Amino acid sequence: MIAGKTWRESCWMAVTYTLLLEVLLVPAIVLWPTLRPEAASLARMIPADFVKRLVDAITSPDSGAAYRAYMAIQMFFKGVNVVGIACAVLLGTGVVARERENQTLEFLLGRPVSRSRVLWDKYWVLALVVVVPIFLTSWSAVPLSWIIDHSLPFAAVTIAAFHNALFVLTLFTFTVLCSVLFRSQVHVAFAVGTVIVIQVGIFFVQQIRVASLFRFSDFDVYGPVLAGNVGFMQLFLASGVWLLGATVLLYLAADRAFRRMDL
Amino acid sequence: MSHVLEMRGVDKRYGTRPVLHGVDLHVARGEVLGFVGPNGAGKSTCLRILLGLTRRDGGAVQVHGLDPAWDSLAIRRRTAYLPGETSLYLHMRGSAFLEFALRFYAAVDLPLRRRLEELFGLPLHRRIRTYSAGMKQKLALLATLVPEVELYLLDEPDRALDATARLQLRDVLRELQRAGRTIVLSSHHLSEVEALADRLLFLHEGRVVDDARVRAVRDALRHEIRLRLEAGTPLPDGHEQVREEPDGALRVSVPGNPYAWLARIDPRRIRSAEVGDTRLEEIYKGLTEVRAP
């Protein structure tokens, strides 16, 4: 019943978020033939090493490889990392903090239902809302690519989508933990926003980039996957397992904090 | 007589601020306990501790023979709770909210549900955000009173209700009482609590006030008259104390029969007179004064 209610409250968000991802994806695919000749001149303007690697890949003489590198940037590095994380933070912020702010939490927790059950029923529905659109839009890129006479390997797209979903899920779970710990949604958004901004900042500084969480979800991860050089197990063991572990730990911390929370 | 709930020496503090000091209370099966006290006295905290929604810092608590710190869920399966400062899911329709709230319980009293729906006359097809404060409170009451449980903890159930709805609520609670259910209700309306409760418990600054002291204060108040007179009307002799209130009314303390004293004033000069005012605020004020050395 909590799951059903949570779904009804968040289904519009799922649809909007899916459409937003798709809206970003379609012009990116359609504009590729136009951008392709200009890519080399863009490359010379960029200082950081990883961006140079990225531009080198999309300027590759092999048009198929260049297109797959380009899609790794557009679909995962840019699209999901921006829109997916925004959606995850928006949804995760309210999980507990909104109930507390709206003074509905005491009514809900006064019913005969365990706190773990309340959190889990809200969590899994919203986690699906965050994750499923990543797969749907990623898969839609496969037939969309045929419009411009290119192809994307379905299996590689699925592996990249899985990894990207795991990354967004980790940030979503971190937001849920903050939603339990902080009393208002604004404080949650501020805390999570601060962490993300700092992480993005670190990512763009060459010397300290290695310390950024976004290393788990950048072009150096998705490029080789879409190029077919990295398989599922290789990617999962290299970084997916850390994301999964962090997600589980963050969820357990949120569950514990929620069970111990005083009204 | 077996106790449905019992608190012994319960302490609670929020940060460094103490909220409850050694609170003792017990409620027997089928009893109705009126829980009264000013805002911030600790009534809501007591109710939350009984359900395990808030952890106590000291003392012992048993509800249905279980400790809420460990068996909160089992207690809530046998208890219905109406929080005092709560809001409902405003985006939901009344009927959907009711289904949502009742589905948590193993059994609901369907005839009572139908009767309350009819009695309260709520537009259940409408979204809750369009409800008035009184309608929201009626809906919260419906969601709380209909589950078939042994114990009802009601924090200010008459909040935002008009006089008619209060009478309706009183009837329903009496019916539950006759059915052997145990009820703990807190309220600011002493008359409502008195009309229903088998026993009153005063909570003041986190402490349970001694019964004898409450009786002494109430007896003293029975000799007080709150009076509004035409300007320049003299007061007859025989009163002990006169105090002017902020709204211009006089509070006169009379040692003997207050009605006999009142009869000595020209009735045409009296704009209003209330004898034996037992408003809670006055009792609280009296309790504070009695405690002062």
Partner-chain residue, chosen from A103, A104, A112, that has the shortest CB–CB distance to B105 = A112
Is position B66 within any domain? yes
Which pLDDT score is estimated for A232? 93
B159: contact with A, CB 8 A cutoff? no
* CB-based contact A110 B101, cutoff 8 Å: no
Which pLDDT score is estimated for B279? 59
Q: What is the pLDDT of residues A177-196, one digit of tens each?
A: 999 999 889 889 988 988 89
- Residue B252 phi/psi, 5° resolution? -110, 130
Assigned token pair, B47: 């109710």
- Based on the fold, state whether residues B146 and B183 are members of the same structural domain: yes
Q: What is the mean pLDDT of residues B203-222?
A: 76
Instruction: Give the global pTM.
Output: 0.82
Contacts of B140 in chain A (CB under 8 A): 107
Q: What residue in A sits closest to B88 (Cα-Cα)? A: A104
Contacts of A104 in chain B (CB under 8 A): 86-89
Is position B53 within any domain? yes
Which pLDDT score is estimated for B289? 61
Which pLDDT score is estimated for B285? 66
End position of a domain, from candidates B210, B240, B255: B210
Q: What is the mean pLDDT of residues A133-143?
A: 93
Q: Binning pLDDT at 50, 70 and 90, where does residue B277 land?
A: low
- Please name every residue paired with B13 in a beta bridge, in sequence order, or none if there are none: B18
End position of a domain, from candidates B160, B178, B210: B210
Is position B249 within any domain? yes
Share the mean pLDDT of chain A: 88
Contact B158, B34 (CB under 8 A): no
Contact A69, A58 (CB under 8 A): yes
- Based on the fold, state whether residues B21 and B126 are members of the same structural domain: yes
pLDDT tops 50 at residue B292: no
- Based on the fold, state whether residues B251 and B146 are members of the same structural domain: no
- Based on the fold, state whether residues B190 and B146 are members of the same structural domain: yes
pLDDT tops 70 at residue B291: no
Q: What residue in B sits closest to A114 (Cα-Cα)? A: B73
Which pLDDT score is estimated for A45? 56
Q: Is the ipTM of this complex over 0.85?
A: no
pLDDT tops 60 at residue A130: yes
B101: contact with A, CB 8 A cutoff? yes
DSSP structure class, residue B233:
P
Q: What residue in A sits closest to B46 (Cα-Cα)? A: A263
A9: contact with B, CB 8 A cutoff? yes
Helix (H) or strand (E) holding B154: strand B151-155
Q: What is the mean pLDDT of residues A201-211?
A: 80
Count Cα neighbours of B35 within 13 Å in the Cβ-side half-sphere: 27
- Based on the fold, state whether residues B112 and B55 are members of the same structural domain: yes
B2: contact with A, CB 8 A cutoff? no
Q: What is the pLDDT of residues A66-112, one digit of tens each?
A: 999 999 888 887 778 888 999 999 999 999 999 999 989 999 999 99
Q: Give the closest-approach CA distance of A110 to chain B in angstroms.
A: 6
Q: Binning pLDDT at 50, 70 and 90, where does residue B128 land?
A: very high
- Based on the fold, state whether residues B24 and B153 are members of the same structural domain: yes
Most A-contacting residue of B73, B142, B145, B159 (CB-CB within 10 A), to test interface? B73
Q: What is the pLDDT of residues B61-70, one digit of tens each?
A: 999 999 999 9
- Based on the fold, state whether residues B184 and B138 are members of the same structural domain: yes
Q: Binning pLDDT at 50, 70 and 90, where does residue A235 land?
A: very high
Q: How many domains does chain B have?
A: 2
Is position B93 within any domain? yes
Which pLDDT score is estimated for A164? 94
CATH number, domain at B52? 3.40.50.300
- Based on the fold, state whether residues B190 and B250 are members of the same structural domain: no
Distances from the Cα of B1 to the Cαs of B24, B30, B57, B65, B78, in angstroms? 17, 10, 28, 14, 19
- Based on the fold, state whether residues B143 and B202 are members of the same structural domain: yes
Is position B206 within any domain? yes
Which of A246-259 are b and which e, b meaning 16 or more Cβ less than 10 Å from the residue's Cβ?
A: bbeebbebbbebbe
Which pLDDT score is estimated for B293? 40
Q: What is the mean pLDDT of residues A158-173?
A: 95
Distances from the Cα of A193 to the Cαs of A83, A185, A197, in angstroms? 14, 12, 6
Q: Which of B236, B228, B204 is nearest to B217 (CA)?
A: B204
Please count the residue pairs, one from chain A and one from chain B, whose beta carbons lie less than 8 angstroms apart: 53
- Based on the fold, state whether residues B59 and B82 are members of the same structural domain: yes
- Based on the fold, state whether residues B175 and B244 are members of the same structural domain: no
End position of a domain, from candidates B210, B244, B265: B210
> Residue B162 burial (CB < 10 Å; 0-12/13-18/19+)?
exposed
Q: What is the mean pLDDT of residues A223-244?
A: 93
Neighbours of A63 (CB within 10 A): 13
Q: What is the mean pLDDT of residues B90-108?
A: 94
Contacts of B52 in chain A (CB under 8 A): none
* CB-based contact B103 A1, cutoff 8 Å: yes
- Based on the fold, state whether residues B196 and B228 are members of the same structural domain: no
Share the mean pLDDT of chain B: 86
Q: Which of B195, B196, B172, B175 is nearest to B184 (CA)?
A: B196
Is position B284 within any domain? no
Neighbours of A19 (CB within 10 A): 12
Residues 150-169 of A with CB under 8 A from B: none
Q: What is the domain range of residue B33?
A: 3-210
Distances from the Cα of B99 to the Cαs of A33, B107, B201, in angstroms? 55, 13, 34
Q: What is the pLDDT of residues A33-51, one digit of tens each?
A: 887 777 776 666 555 677 7
Share of chain B above pLDDT 70, in %: 90
pLDDT tops 80 at residue A24: no
Is position B228 within any domain? yes
